A and B are shown apart, each in its own frame.
Chain A
Amino acid sequence: MAVTLEDVKRVANLARIEISNDEAHTTLDQITGIFSLIEQMELVDTSTVIPMSHAQGVEQRLRKDEVTEIDQHELFQSQAPKTEAKLYLVPKVIE
């Protein structure tokens, strides 16, 4: 699958990463390189292999349903650029 410069710019936009035209070109070259590696790997027949999600075959650990957190909003909000009425303030976004 060939990746285009447009694809790179689109993904950058979706991820909210600002990239220059030069950076987009460099990124395109790198991604194309990675894709050719993937294409090579796809030649291997994996039809009988169960997809593996962890190298050691471990499973998801679970926790009991109980409240263990306390209200620390003051501490957290001391790091926030702007707050008011206990709310985090962000630039206005209307979808």
Chain B
Amino acid sequence: MQWEVVVGLEVHTQLLTQSKLFSGASTTFGGMPNSQACAVDLALPGVLPVLNRGVVELAVKFGLAIDARINSPSIFARKNYFYPDLPKGYQISQFELPIVEGGHIKIKTGKSNEENEKIINITRAHLEEDAGKSLHEDFHGMTGIDLNRAGTPLLEIVSEPDMRSSSEAVAFAKTIHTLVRWLGISDGNMEEGSFRCDANVSIRRLGDEKLGTRREIKNLNSFRFLQQAIEAEVEFQKYTLETGGEIKQATVLFDSDKRETQVMRTKEDAHDYRYFPDPDLLPLIISPDWIEEIRASMVEPPDLCFSRFIDSKIDSNSKATYALSKYDASMLTADIDIANYFEKVVEIIGRKEAKLCANWVIGEVAARLNQDNKNIKASPVSPKQLAELILRICDGTISGKTAKDVFSTMWDGENHASADEIIKTKGLKQISNSDEITKLVDMILIDNPQQVADFCRGKEKAFNSLVGQVMKATKGKANPAQVNDILKERLNKKGQE
């Protein structure tokens, strides 16, 4: 039987603020337990929440970036449940009138050469506070509670059930991940729990209108687990339905070792959150002026940056275009810091060499960053240094191959030497003097009569061997294009003799 997979995602992303959603305690990760939990976070009697302006601005930025409606008034609600790492007995969240409603993002599916675009609609994005952390290790049969995380601002982004496979779900999560980092509203750090997903999964017969019963997989903190969990869940639902069973609505957890989903609770014992507007908080009013102020402070969104990178139009009034391939553009716009680095390099060299710059950033720079596990912001080679190096390839001072050695020296060196300094001290300047190269070629031809004879009999391979000899004699410093030309010319002469 043909089944169609239907997935909707909820993404919880921690907003990048100094202080908490409703208190002035620090949100820095990794502090001593409870050192960042103040009276409001502990829910001591008599305290009142005061909303963080910075949080509102970050949420509005997200809303504007996905073309959503910003609700004003927006209302905070209490979501009631009992757990020791939630000292108030309720989480302040939003139910009716969330700060962001509607909107959509574009995801790319399929391989880069046959890429498809798909619009995924966003239902809403609301603000809520995170809970504390329970440590169930043995404290004499008791549980240890660390409330540093309690009250940390989260933006919960809820999608429509628009995805039709695990890979679309992963593409959506990755696009949101790139977007929130790009906008500077979250660090998206998955190891620290700043970005986690819940997936609502159901299946239906291909062609059916009505959605099947869904089960929700909670707390997926990596793209790999998201993919595996959805695949495991789909297998379970297919098997259940094909063997005459019935899917019961439930919340499940993914066991990554066993690669299966396990029921956490069913609909019967589902939480009854008893949402109601929080009387401690008044309606949040976001004026049109404030929204425009926030809009003006925003960076160019990643999809527009991508379109600009592949565009070839030159318009002095708008931002630079580079006529890059889609592949290059998507690599460069995977992260705003990479895009900025690339643009700084091209700014120095000129857009005519944009493709060469892209190759270096995607190639050499990315490879070394990956190897050293570094972010491009921490690159030991600055955009200016890289630009100066690429300029020396463009003007023929060094070959592309030598440039890689210079780059390596630059990367490993501690004194931030410029390309010119390295070329000079290492004597790497390319030999582009044609008299000098001609002299060398003639010498090589005299020393290798066998190869010359082979070439004259039509053995093309002999030519490469001769080029190799010339390059070897100059320690790779001869301009390879010139060597090719001169060698060809001399050999042709010999052939005619």
Instruction: Spell out A's residues near B (CB within 8 Å).
Output: 10, 14-16, 53-54, 58-69, 71-73, 76-77, 82, 84-95
Residues of chain B within 8 A (CB-CB) of A68 are 19, 24
Assuming the contacts A53-B283, A73-B35, asked whether A84 and B51 have C-beta atoms less than 8 A apart, the reply is: no
Nearest first, the 6 A-B pairs at minimum CB distance are A65-B54, A68-B24, A87-B144, A69-B38, A62-B53, A86-B33
Q: B76's closest neighbor in chain A, by CB? A: A60
- For this complex, 29 residue pairs linking A to B, each with C-beta atoms less than 8 Å apart, are A14-B82, A15-B80, A15-B89, A53-B73, A53-B277, A54-B283, A59-B73, A59-B282, A59-B284, A62-B50, A63-B51, A64-B54, A65-B52, A67-B18, A69-B23, A69-B24, A69-B25, A69-B26, A73-B33, A73-B34, A76-B37, A76-B42, A76-B44, A82-B142, A86-B33, A86-B35, A88-B145, A92-B136, A93-B84
Residues of chain A within 8 A (CB-CB) of B314 are none
B17 at the interface (CB under 8 A from A): yes
B56 at the interface (CB under 8 A from A): yes
Assuming the contacts A14-B274, A85-B144, A91-B142, asked whether A73 and B37 have C-beta atoms less than 8 A apart, the reply is: yes
Residues of chain B within 8 A (CB-CB) of A67 are 18-19, 24-26
A69-B36, A71-B36, A91-B142 are known contacts; what are 6 more A-B pairs with Cβ within 8 Å?
A: A14-B82, A59-B285, A71-B35, A73-B33, A87-B135, A95-B264
Residues of chain A within 8 A (CB-CB) of B143 are 89-93
Chain B at the A interface: mostly helix, strand, loop or mixed?
loop
| A62 contacts B36, C-beta separation under 8 Å | no
A1 to chain B minimum Cβ distance, whole angstroms, is 15
Q: B287's closest neighbor in chain A, by CB? A: A59
A4 to chain B minimum Cβ distance, whole angstroms, is 15
| A66 contacts B39, C-beta separation under 8 Å | no
Which residues, 1 to 60 on B, are CB-close (under 8 Å) to A? 17-19, 23-26, 32-39, 42, 44, 50-56
B75 at the interface (CB under 8 A from A): yes
| B24 contacts A66, C-beta separation under 8 Å | yes
B83 at the interface (CB under 8 A from A): yes
B63 to chain A minimum Cβ distance, whole angstroms, is 17
Residues of chain A within 8 A (CB-CB) of B73 are 53, 59
Residues of chain B at interface, number, CB under 8 A? 52
Docked pose: A15 CA to B33 CA in angstroms: 28
| A90 contacts B84, C-beta separation under 8 Å | yes
B72 to chain A minimum Cβ distance, whole angstroms, is 9
Which of A15, A53, A91 has the largest count of B CB atoms less than 10 A from its CB?
A53
Docked pose: A65 CA to B56 CA in angstroms: 10
B146 at the interface (CB under 8 A from A): yes
A71 to chain B minimum Cβ distance, whole angstroms, is 4
Residues of chain A within 8 A (CB-CB) of B220 are none
B144 to chain A minimum Cβ distance, whole angstroms, is 3
B189 to chain A minimum Cβ distance, whole angstroms, is 19
| B34 contacts A60, C-beta separation under 8 Å | no
| B33 contacts A87, C-beta separation under 8 Å | yes
| B282 contacts A63, C-beta separation under 8 Å | no
Docked pose: A92 CA to B140 CA in angstroms: 10
A84 to chain B minimum Cβ distance, whole angstroms, is 6
Docked pose: A59 CA to B73 CA in angstroms: 9
Docked pose: A45 CA to B14 CA in angstroms: 42
Which residues, 112 to 143 on B, are CB-close (under 8 Å) to A? 134-136, 139-143
Q: A13's closest neighbor in chain B, by CB? A: B82
Q: A91's closest neighbor in chain B, by CB? A: B142
Q: B37's closest neighbor in chain A, by CB? A: A73
| A90 contacts B19, C-beta separation under 8 Å | no
Which of B24, B44, B146 has the largest count of A CB atoms less than 10 A from its CB?
B24
| B34 contacts A86, C-beta separation under 8 Å | yes
| B25 contacts A60, C-beta separation under 8 Å | no
B475 to chain A minimum Cβ distance, whole angstroms, is 58
**A interface footprint on B261-299 (CB within 8 Å = 1, 0 otherwise):** 000100000001010010001111100000000000000
B151 to chain A minimum Cβ distance, whole angstroms, is 11
Docked pose: A15 CA to B117 CA in angstroms: 48
B147 at the interface (CB under 8 A from A): yes
Residues of chain A within 8 A (CB-CB) of B50 are 61-63
Residues of chain B within 8 A (CB-CB) of A59 are 73, 282-285
Docked pose: A84 CA to B140 CA in angstroms: 10
| B282 contacts A65, C-beta separation under 8 Å | no
Docked pose: A58 CA to B50 CA in angstroms: 14
Residues of chain A within 8 A (CB-CB) of B39 are 72, 76
| B33 contacts A85, C-beta separation under 8 Å | yes
| A89 contacts B33, C-beta separation under 8 Å | no
Which of B34, B44, B51, B283 is close to A88, meaning CB atoms less than 8 Å apart? B34
| A77 contacts B34, C-beta separation under 8 Å | yes
| A63 contacts B24, C-beta separation under 8 Å | yes
Docked pose: A77 CA to B143 CA in angstroms: 15
